[in-house]
Structure 1
């Protein structure tokens, strides 16, 4: 797919879709730090002619798709904007995958792992059995997750596509609104359920390496293991603010303040750990990439978080 120039392998060039999105922006920063060649696409993915023009302009060897809608301020938005969600998350994504296939290009798609939910059978909360890449999604409680499950199933037929199942993504900035820690730290009450999560400072660089390796199929894109909301908040209390407090409420109580149900699950990480044996478990990764840096600047972090919480 990369071709050759003057008898030597062509240097990879990345085309990123999703410039205005969180992950798309972070991926661009990483590629810039690596000194890699990359550009952002300008077309909306449902605009096939525009996507083709972007590819002709950039002439990439690899395409990274971080575009799509999750909703603002959260996925509840998708419940009342179903057509927009379909266009972005299904039609647009398939359009790009199809064009890449026709052009002989590898595509990495930043999808979601929020298409599974603990059940009363094999995948009981706390039993340590995680959903594998081959398992069929069992959660359609939100329209966002419904469209993501549909497109993942269809993308399996494309031999040039790697689908990464991102879950509850986390970065070090505890005031960034998309950060999972920011979301739960703002609330007086949270549910307390163990989940697989994606520590982006550790995992996003691996996604670029996966693209370079031209891995395909589905990849559970999370750190090994699961961690609960209470465990994360306890780490914040330990490393940053010993006076921090919170309380819990049940899933039933949570349902009264949200529109669509939320997914809770454990994803199996055998495949990603096989590719990257150095990958840290979720708690270890959080400590290294999030809480130790926060502790080194705790007064500033504490002040910012308290202002965000209005306290």
Structure 2
């Protein structure tokens, strides 16, 4: 599959065509008129990767493939081999083959490999930088992601983007972070770095075109808490919406693996894109204002989703 456009420009090949971010990347490339293809290979199959690269001859590879688990990362705790194959072996395969061919690869990784601690306290404003060593391996998902980031960063052709708690405007989409916390009976109230995909995904394509490499904290500047997001939902969409809090200790009783909470430093990405909005302003522009324009429809859909 390829969009019509200037065929003399970059040629993108997307891995992860059945995934959420892979699908959004295809939509973005199609909208911009860029030439792109959807890879057929599974990342564990090196020969199939080579066949795809020979077939489509990309100048840029976008790797949005991997396992996060269904319905959440707890799945990875009992499916460790599948997680290793997809998140470690597969990613290394693709990075290595691309490097052999001189192809730039953008890897959509995760920032859920850090956690607030004594050196990075909550609400201190001190964020983890790209060069900081991951300090969170509480979930097997995060464990494999920290391992593969440490290995893939050695490839000179790779840009690693640390995605966190990704958000889109569709408040009923099950993988949207806001959708998840709207559905929960109780939430923790901890500020986190987050990734507003409608704003940031187009920038990732521009990063690929610029052939940036190394690690990039791929979040909007600043942090926002679960309560602040739900309060925005009440303000813009449904004044009758209610929620309750519980502690991290109480949360631990209803999940299998611990969750990461952190603030990522955004000096590098803001240096590349000074227009990047802080997290609260980005949420208002890309999520809450568009939904407020169709408030009744959104409110009804969310209440039906919650069964209330």
Q: Please classify the TM superposition score into its range, dividing by the shorter chain length.
A: over 0.9
Q: Of residues 228, 235, 240 in structure 1, which corresponds to 2:237? A: 240
Distance 1:301 1:114 in 2: 29
Q: Structure 1 length normalisation: TM-score?
A: 0.97
Aligned to 2:56: 58
Structure 1 position 238, deviation (Å): 0.0
Distance 1:49 1:300 in 2: 48
Write out per-residue CA displacement over residues 133-191 of structure 1, whole angstroms, 9 at most, x where no aligned residue: 00000000000000000000001110000000000000000000000000000012100
2:60 is the counterpart of 1:89: no
Aligned to 2:3: none
Write out per-residue CA displacement over residues 45-74 of structure 1, whole angstroms, 9 at most, x where no aligned residue: 010000000000000000000000000000
Where in structure 2 are there 5+ consecutive unaligned residues? 1-6
Aligned to 2:221: 224
Aligned to 1:5: none
Map 1:164-203 → 2, pairs under 5 A: 164-203=161-200
Distance 2:121 2:102 in 1: 41
Distance 1:246 1:124 in 2: 26
Aligned to 1:6: none
Aligned to 1:80: 78
Q: Of residues 266, 271, 276 in structure 1, which corresponds to 2:268? A: 271
Distance 2:151 2:184 in 1: 37
Where in structure 1 are there 5+ consecutive unaligned residues? 1-8
Aligned to 2:103: 105
Aligned to 1:3: none
Runs of 4+ in 1 over 4 A off after TM superposition: none
Could you say what the CA RMSD is over the residues aligned between the two structures, in angstroms? 0.7
Aligned to 2:249: 252
